[in-house]
Structure 1
Amino acid sequence: MKTTTEKLLKEIKENGGISSIISKVYDIKNDSIEENTRTLLNYGWYISGEMKMKKISEVIELIKSEKTKEAESILINFFKENLTKIEEQLIKNHSERKAVLEEAFNAHKSNMFYSSTILFLSQGDGIIDGKIFHNRNNLDKHLDKEKNPNFVNLLKEDSSLNVPSAKIKKSKYFSKLNRHSVMHGKSTDYGTETNSLKALSLCCFVSDWYNRYEQ
């Protein structure tokens, strides 16, 4: 049985490339895909390739209506309900990371959210070879424009997760989860289920979208 991702790959090949397909299905109130992705990034969330575009549209509209708790609830429920499937897919795509991914998911399932958050953040960084948090100005060299949808370019920009920690308190972002603060021990209050799922969403995003279609 083909997975959702495999079906999407087939559709992409038959319809002129990923950007054209994404543009058609990701119709969110005439706003650009990039704008809506950026909105989610500012709340600390990344998009999984398994999320239905209609559901993402619903989340965006709730955020625009200042119903952020309801919007986050949808995202939280998505990752909770699909946790096993996401774990299996990440391990399938990154078998060399099997042991650390299993430990991260086990920690999450055991409510050890400090551990799971930092592990998911590290693996998200590792999947993209460290380029999301280091030398982001040079990320263009590694982004294959034919294999990545346009919104992956947002990895080059500051967001709540990857903005330098010195800027986070004065920033416009709506999420306090910050990779630098977590990984370098500056943050001591990030151990929540929501933050763990946000960190997991980063793993999904880079696994599903960053140079995902080169195989």
Structure 2
Amino acid sequence: MDFFTSSIRNILIENVKSLKQTIEEIGETFRKEMKPIYESLLILREEFDTRDSVNAMIIESGYPPIWDIDIILEIQKKMEEAKDFENFDVSGSIINYFKSEEIGNFLDDWSRFPFLRGRMPILESVIECHKSGLYYSSISTLLPQFEGVIFEFFNHSYKYKENYLRIYLEQLLLTSYKAEGDSFNDKVMQYYKNYILVGFYGKEVASEISRHAFAHGYLKDFGTEQNSLKLLLLFNQIVTFLSELDDEEIEKAKTLVRLDSEKERDKKKAELIANNNLKQQLKEKEKDNEKFKALFLEFVGYEDEWLPTVPGLNKKRINCLHY
């Protein structure tokens, strides 16, 4: 090997060593920077799993799903202390959590939402009634606010239709009204549909917080702390979702409602035209029928005893042979 070749070889070896060292340094730096991100993802994964498992019991107890991890962890802690998952009182645990000043934190959060500014006196009254044990008042005041807040948030300008509310809810929760999935948003949608929008049949009321049964006066024994808290938790979740919507999502919801309204308008217009055409056809048929009746009576005659006299008709009696 000559001197020139040897020199090139040595240079390449040194450069490869430097490159290898640089790659190892980059890899080590990357691992150090990714470690906290990875650990954060693990924590999030654990929180999601915990939230799902605890929410399953919360929903089974008739309460809406809860996102707040502090509440979830508190309930989980109580469950672990009880060591009896099957008989654990989820409702009692939620009520006890909000027995303190925690219930007042709702107002602090809501006051930061511009779209609730005009409703704060109402919401303050709701919280005060709940804290004072006036649950009939807190429920009766809060239940109508759900749809009022949602429709006002989207600047709704059409007449009320439950289908419009469903469109808004779908865009708000980014899921289908008929969703049956296990995501948190799906569960909120299912709860709203099964507890708030559920219908009632006669005296049979499927939910003690049904807006339909309430509006028509079928609810009587709904004034409980549990029902009041259920509505507070759901309302808090709905307005939190609203506060996180961006302009594009809001406009999409408004466009879908407008298209649905136009579709309904065109449908009614087509039905009106069809009805008018049918009425006109019936009138023509009636005219033809009258002409035919007059012609028939003129031709065959009629008996006064059983056929009515038609004004202006040239009577022609029938001579009957009697045997």
Under a length normalisation based on structure 2, what TM-score does the superposition of the two structures give? 0.46
RMSD: 4.0
Please state how far the C-alpha of 1:129 moved relative to its aligned partner: 3.3
* Shift of residue 167, structure 1, vs aligned partner: 10
Contact 1:59–1:71 (8 Å) recurs in 2: no
| One-letter identity of the residue aligned with 2:61 | Y
1:183–1:54 distance in 2 versus 1, CA, 3 Å: same
Q: Residue 27 in 1 paired to residue 27 in 2?
A: no
Shift of the 203–141 alpha-carbon distance from structure 1 to 2, 3 Å rule, reads closer
Structure 1 unaligned runs (5+)? Answer: 1-14
Q: Residue 163 of structure 1: which of 189, 194, 198 is its match? A: 198
Q: Bigger relative contact order, structure 1 or 2, given CA contacts below 8 A and separation 6+?
A: 1
Question: Is the alpha carbon distance of 1:39 and 1:211 closer, same or farther for their aligned partners in structure 2, counting shifts above 3 Å?
Answer: farther
Q: Does 1:129 align with 2:162?
A: no
Deviation at 1:137, TM superposition (A): 4.9
Please name the residue that 1:201 is paired with. 233
Give the one of 214, 226, 236 matched to 1:182: 214
Asked if residue 73 in structure 1 is aligned to residue 73 in structure 2, the reply is no
Out of 74, 96, 108, which is 1:88 matched to? 108
User: How much identity, in percent, do the aligned residues show?
Assistant: 24
Count of aligned positions = 186
Structure 1 residue 53 displacement after superposition: 3.0
| Aligned with 1:49 (options 68, 82, 97) | 68
Q: Distance in 1 between matches of 2:54 and 2:62?
A: 13
On the 8 A contact 1:182/1:190 being kept in 2, the answer is no
Looking at structure 2, the residues matched to 137 and 167 of structure 1 have their Cα atoms a distance apart, in angstroms, of 24
Q: 1:53 to 1:194 in 2, by over 3 A?
A: closer
Q: Deviations over 1:42-78 (max 9, x none)?
A: 433122536433234457888x93425x211111122
| 1:6 corresponds to | none
* TM superposition shift of 1:203: 1.3
Q: Do structure 1's residue 213 and structure 2's residue 244 form an aligned pair?
A: yes
**Contact between 1:137 and 1:156, CA under 8 Å: does it hold in 2?**
no
More helix by share: 2
1:201 to partner: Cα distance = 1.1
Alignment-derived partner of residue 11 in structure 1: none
SS of aligned partner of 2:68? coil
Q: Aligned partners of 2:151, 2:55: CA distance in 1, in Å?
A: 22
Q: Which has the larger radius of gyration?
A: 2
Q: 1:196, CA displacement in angstroms?
A: 1.2
Residue 162 of structure 2 aligns to which amino acid in structure 1?
H
Q: Does 1:140 align with 2:173?
A: no
Cα distance in structure 1, aligned partners of 2:197 and 2:203: 9
Q: Which runs of 4+ in 1 moved over 6 A?
A: 59-62
Q: Corresponding residue for 2:258?
A: none
- 2:107–2:123 CA contact under 8 A, matched in 1: yes
1:118-153 deviation per Cα after TM superposition (whole angstroms, max 9, x unaligned): 22222234343399x9336533344447xxx94123
Per-residue deviation, 1:85: 1.4
Separation in structure 2 between the aligned mates of residue 206 and residue 214 of structure 1, nearest angstrom: 11
One-letter amino acid matched to 2:95 = I
Q: Is the 8 A contact 1:41 1:159 kept in 2?
A: no
Give the Cα–Cα distance (whole angstroms) in 2 for the partners of residues 22 and 170 of structure 1: 39
Aligned counterpart, 1:153 = 186
Name the aligned partner's letter for residue 106 of structure 2: I
Decide whether the 8 Å contact of 2:195 with 2:209 is kept in 1: yes
Aligned partners of 1:160 and 1:178: how far apart in 2?
Answer: 6
| 1:117 and 2:150 matched | no
Q: Could you tell me how far apart the structure 1 residues matched to 2:142 and 2:237 are?
A: 12
Q: 1:77 to 1:176 in 2, by over 3 A?
A: same
Alpha-carbon shift at residue 113 of structure 1 (Å): 1.1
Task: Give me the whole-angstrom Cα distance separating, in 2, the residues matched to 1:96 and 1:85.
Answer: 18
On the 8 A contact 1:45/1:198 being kept in 2, the answer is yes
